[in-house]
Chain A
Amino acid sequence: LAKTTQPISMDSYEGQEVNITCSHNNIATNDYITWYQQFPSQGPRFIIQGYKTKVTNEVASLFIPADRKSSTLSLPRVSLSDTAVYYCLVGEGDMIKAAGNKLTFGGGTRVLVKP
């Protein structure tokens, strides 16, 4: 997996948009960018994965610039239930999505949504 850097924590308020940026300067040509979400006392869950430009699903959007050295996870109109730790992982896409071999998570970004 490529080394990634993301903020340790972020605070937000209900209804706001939360943007978490992840730096991955050493991303390889075949690497994908994957984000996991972990609620307190639960295991992580896959939320989104992308290779370039923009990916959107029912949970979040992922923005990836042309140089792919960073990416931004965007959570629209957050609610209290979006309080969680968000992990950015960069590497072989299928392996990361399937939580496969030697998948190691960094410290993640703790997002606290306040009322």
Chain B
Amino acid sequence: ETGVTQSPTHLIKTRGQQVTLRCSSQSGHNTVSWYQQALGQGPQFIFQYYREEENGRGNFPPRFSGLQFPNYSSELNVNALELDDSALYLCASSPYEEMNTEAFFGQGTRLTVV
């Protein structure tokens, strides 16, 4: 079990609604990356946050946005939910300055859009 905590564990939302997912990083880890994992597929990179700023983004529309707080925790916000947004959302934390150090993933938030 890693020190990365995600909340909530499960969530059901209606199409068009907005959702906020939360991630507390491993102690000492200042970088948080978010991933979307559709059923039966591998995780896909959404974006990464370092020093409270976005530090790289995957191929996701602007309605996917995020925040990082001074304590390194992070939020993923998704606006105007679509049915295809149903997925497991994972966050991973790592120490940016320590190269060759593995990241730790949380257990994810299972989002269902109906």
- A residues engaging B (CB < 8 A)? 41-46, 85, 87, 93-94, 97-108
Contacts and interface: CB of A to CB of B under 8 A. Distances in A.
Interface size class of B (residues with CB under 8 A): 20 to 34
B74 interface: no
Secondary structure class of chain A's binding surface, majority of residues? loop
Contact of A97 (B40, B101, B107): B101
B107 A43 contact: yes
A91 to B, nearest CB: 12
Contact of B56 (A87, A102, A106): A102
B56 A43 contact: no
Contact of A45 (B48, B56, B105): B105
A9 to B, nearest CB: 11
Given A42-B108, A43-B92, A43-B107, A102 B101 contact: no
B55 A106 contact: no
10 contacts: A42-B107, A43-B92, A44-B43, A44-B90, A45-B2, A97-B101, A98-B101, A99-B103, A99-B105, A104-B44
B33 interface: yes
Contacts of B104: 43, 45
A98 B58 contact: no
A46 to B, nearest CB: 4
